[in-house]
Amino acid sequence: MPPQECHNGDKDGVKFKRRKGKVFSGEATLLSTELKRLQDEYANTSYNKATNKHLGILRAKIAKVKRSIEASGRHKVGAGFFVKKSGDATVALVGFPSAGKSSLINRLANTDSKTAGYAFTTTSLIPGMFTYKNARIQVFDLPGIIEGAHIGAGGGRTVLAAAKMADLITFVVDIADPAQLGIILDELKGLDIFVNRQRPDVSVQDSRNQGFLLEINESGLSKKVIETVFAGFNIYNSVVRIRQRIDEDELIALLGGKSCYVNAIVALNKVDTNDSYATIAAQLGKKYSIEVVPISAMTGRNIDLLAKRIYDNLHIMTVLLQPKGSAKSEPMVVKEGSTVLDVARRIHTRFAEEVRCAYIDGPSAKFRNQRVGTGHILLDGDTVSFR
């Protein structure tokens, strides 16, 4: 399964309601307080036989309150922002206030997003667009997020909801405070958004009243912990297979049905102010297992490199469509791993139903004008002709 699969909203249009102020009011504030209380209680309860059941109940309560916060947010009305997804792929800039997100979008995408030396200069979503190779890449400049964003601080939930719709997140981190990255990742995790991870392969089947059978467990968690988590969701009579490493939080999020997996890289900004940027970038990358590109949005340093790494991490490619009998070809940007059928579908669904083969040239062809079936996997730079 591809790691990027949070596009669970409207694919073309993304509508968000943005709340003003530090936390959103009324019911949601109560829910946030309740969530914090439950999380503290959970953290302070040590695991043993006597507390096993209680911990399971706490986990289920935490998942329930998280869902309620999500639902209450959806119905709130406030100053909103609306943007239409366009181009071949979308990248969201996420970072602390004043990290340099707006300065970066202005460099990358020739936009005119306001920049200033004070926090929360940007208050809504500012879209921009740049072209790399043949791809038109849309960029979202977003308001800064702060600690507590996942429970609504500074309107952070709206910002993170927008960010997870993108095909790639670029975290903009000020080199003066690299610890911002850890806080941002925690905020995303608080909303069950997991970065640069594959959706875990966990299967659950009815055990026909045979109790809880953990048939495969490659999670790294003990059977007891897993059983307790499942009990928290009232899952008892089941055959469970976990085929990869997963931590408790991720398992809970997965069972709660709300987990989301996003790809991300880091733009370590303001390197013009620090000569040790290479070391800091390497340390940050190692600590969080993430690609870090040192840049200066102010001087323009490494902006081209960042554009390239954004493109590479979007895992897209260009195929050239050549109409029958024509010498001219039209580029089309598609996902890496796309087949002839995927390309035909992009042209038209009706057309795709009728297509049986294509003639290809380029990296995936064994010879010129090779006739291939619709399942043929294309490579970057292939030419495709339908006849």
Q: C-beta of 129: minimal distance to ligand GTP in Å?
A: 18
180 binds ligand GTP (CB under 6 A): no
CA distance 222 to 246: 11
Q: Which residue has the tokens 């740049």?
A: 130
- Comparing C-alpha atoms, which of 270, 312, 297 is closest to residue 168? 312
| Interface segment toward ligand GTP; rule CB under 6 A; list 42-50, 112-120, 307-315, 317-325 | 112-120
CA distance 246 to 166: 24
298 binds ligand GTP (CB under 6 A): yes
CA distance 147 to 184: 7
Indicate if the alpha-carbon torsion angle 98, 101, 102, 107 is positive or negative.
positive
Compare residues 138 and 269 and give the one whose CB is closer to ligand GTP: 269
Q: Which residue has the tokens 């003003």?
A: 20
Q: C-beta of 174: minimal distance to ligand GTP in Å?
A: 8
Q: What is the total count of residues that contact ligand GTP (CB under 6 A)? A: 24
106 binds Mg ion (CB under 5 A): no
Question: How does strand 168-174 pair with strand 89-95?
Answer: parallel
170 binds ligand GTP (CB under 6 A): no
Other CB atoms closer than 10 Å to residue 204's CB: what's the count?
15
Compare residues 168 and 378 and give the one whose CB is closer to ligand GTP: 168
Q: Which does 238 bind (CB under 5 to 8 A by kind): ligand GTP, Mg ion, none?
A: none
302 binds Mg ion (CB under 5 A): no
147 binds ligand GTP (CB under 6 A): no
- From 4, 32, 106, 122, residue interacting with Mg ion (rule: CB under 5 A): 122
CA distance 12 to 7: 10
- Chain residue whose CB lies nearest ligand GTP: 144
Compare residues 17 and 101 and give the one whose CB is closer to ligand GTP: 101
Compare residues 3 and 97 and give the one whose CB is closer to Mg ion: 97
| Burial (CB count within 10 angstroms: exposed 0-12, middle 13-18, buried 19+), residue 324 | exposed
122 binds ligand GTP (CB under 6 A): yes
Contact assessment for residue 243 and residue 216, using Cβ atoms and an 8 Å cutoff: yes
- From 121, 217, 329, 339, residue interacting with Mg ion (rule: CB under 5 A): 121
296 binds ligand GTP (CB under 6 A): yes
CA distance 371 to 359: 5
Other CB atoms closer than 10 Å to residue 110's CB: what's the count?
10
Compare residues 4 and 180 and give the one whose CB is closer to Mg ion: 180
- Comparing C-alpha atoms, which of 90, 138, 104, 89 is closest to residue 268? 104
Contact assessment for residue 95 and residue 172, using Cβ atoms and an 8 Å cutoff: yes
| Interface segment toward ligand GTP; rule CB under 6 A; list 19-27, 109-117, 275-283, 372-380 | 109-117
String marking each residue 228-267 x if it binds ligand GTP according to CB under 6 A: ----------------------------------------
- From 72, 102, 263, 296, residue interacting with Mg ion (rule: CB under 5 A): 102
| Interface segment toward ligand GTP; rule CB under 6 A; list 18-26, 115-123, 248-256, 345-353 | 115-123
Instruction: Report the SS3 class of residue 375.
Output: coil
Compare residues 23 and 119 and give the one whose CB is closer to ligand GTP: 119
97 binds ligand GTP (CB under 6 A): yes
- Comparing C-alpha atoms, which of 84, 82, 78 is closest to residue 138? 84
Q: Which two tokens stand for residue 36?
A: 């914090």
35 binds ligand GTP (CB under 6 A): no
Q: C-beta of 114: minimal distance to ligand GTP in Å?
A: 7
Contact assessment for residue 318 and residue 357, using Cβ atoms and an 8 Å cutoff: no
Listing DSSP states for 202-227 in one string gives EEEEE-SSS-EEEEEE-SSS-HHHHH
Compare residues 110 and 203 and give the one whose CB is closer to ligand GTP: 110
Measure the CA angle with vertex 177, ends 180 and 159; round to 5°. 35
Which residues within the stretch 72-101 sit at the binding site for Mg ion (CB under 5 A)? Answer: 101
Residues that bind ligand GTP (CB under 6 A): 95, 97-103, 115-117, 119-122, 143-144, 269-270, 272-273, 296-298
Residues that bind Mg ion (CB under 5 A): 101-102, 121-122
